């Protein structure tokens, strides 16, 4: 059993590989996250995304990974009526709202290709699980109280699906409404989405949070997605199918 946490992409990333006794796969997967950071970090002057924003890389020279992420971002923009938009007010591209889920999904696929079916990948609170935990039970994921981070207000079992939380309680107001850049999102503080995989959950969680109080309704309308939101009044609302994942 191999388990470790390292700081990459500006956040703690944890791997729990139930069937693995070697550190080699851990190093391989963490190395993948390091490569993603090197390509997509806005804080590194030598990253590909920084070069793109400086205008020193032509679109024809974009890497395959960059083209894939940008295509996913555009797909999400269309699907969410523009509430997910990686273009900042100054025109620069910031794909961080989709890169994390994309990278977790790809890391999980690397683990599966190595022959493992029981694992968990967590990056900054967004999680992809597979199979069972080391006790042979379904993985359990806690949703934190955004007003008291030491308290878990819901425990869920995603059962191989992805679970992502967007909010303002850890990193402040880093998510904005692309339709009203100047207006901070203050009506909700935390929105958790369970989706078919972590990429799907992550991209829709970001968009739904940008919608404010309308976000949980947007998730309700999506096939194969469930959500749980906590608003600024400390009132929680969940979609009609969310309860199927709650551990009682």
As a whole number of angstroms, the distance between CA 199 and CA 128 comes to 9
Q: How far is CA 162 from CA 46, 51, 133, 199, in A?
A: 31, 31, 15, 7
Selection from 119, 121, 113 nearest residue 198 by Cα: 121
Nearest-angstrom CA–CA distance, 232 and 184: 13
Task: Name the residue with tokens 């620069």.
Answer: 92
What phi and psi values does residue 23 have, to the nearest 5 degrees?
-80, -5
**Distance separating alpha carbons of residues 203 and 83, to the nearest angstrom:** 11
| Encoded tokens for 6 | 């390292």
CATH topology of domain 2-245: T-fold (3.10.520)
pLDDT reported for residue 21: 80
Q: Residue 1: its pLDDT value, please?
A: 64
Q: What is the pLDDT along the chain (248 residues), one digit of tens a residue?
A: 689 999 999 999 999 999 888 889 999 999 999 999 999 999 999 999 999 999 999 999 999 999 999 999 999 999 999 999 999 989 999 999 999 999 999 999 999 999 999 999 999 999 999 999 999 999 999 999 999 989 999 999 999 999 999 986 555 456 768 877 767 888 999 999 999 999 999 999 999 999 999 999 999 999 999 999 999 999 999 999 999 999 96
């Amino acid at each position: 059993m191999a388990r470790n946490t390292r700081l990459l992409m500006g956040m703690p990333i944890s791997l729990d590989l139930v069937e693995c006794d070697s550190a080699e796969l851990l190093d391989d997967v963490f190395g993948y996250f390091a490569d993603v950071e090197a390509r997509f970090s806005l804080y590194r002057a030598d990253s590909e995304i920084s070069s793109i924003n400086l205008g020193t890389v032509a679109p024809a020279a974009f890497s395959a990974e960059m083209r894939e992420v940008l295509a996913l971002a555009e797909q999400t923009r269309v699907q969410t009526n523009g509430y997910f938009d990686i273009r900042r007010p100054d025109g620069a591209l910031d794909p961080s709202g989709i890169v994390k889920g994309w990278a977790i999904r790809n890391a999980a696929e690397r683990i599966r290709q190595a022959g493992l079916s029981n694992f968990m990948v967590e990056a900054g609170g967004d999680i992809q699980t597979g199979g069972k935990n080391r006790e042979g039970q379904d993985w359990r994921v806690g949703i934190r109280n955004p007003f008291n981070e030491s308290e878990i207000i819901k425990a869920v079992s995603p059962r191989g699906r992805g679970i992502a939380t967007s909010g303002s309680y850890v990193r402040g107001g880093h998510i904005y409404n692309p339709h009203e850049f100047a207006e901070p999102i203050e009506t909700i503080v935390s929105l958790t989405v369970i989706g078919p995989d972590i990429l799907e959950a992550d991209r829709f969680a970001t968009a739904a949070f940008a919608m404010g109080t309308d976000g949980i309704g947007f998730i309700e309308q999506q096939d194969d997605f469930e959500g749980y939101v906590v608003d600024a009044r400390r009132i929680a609302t969940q979609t009609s199918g969310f309860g199927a994942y709650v551990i009682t």
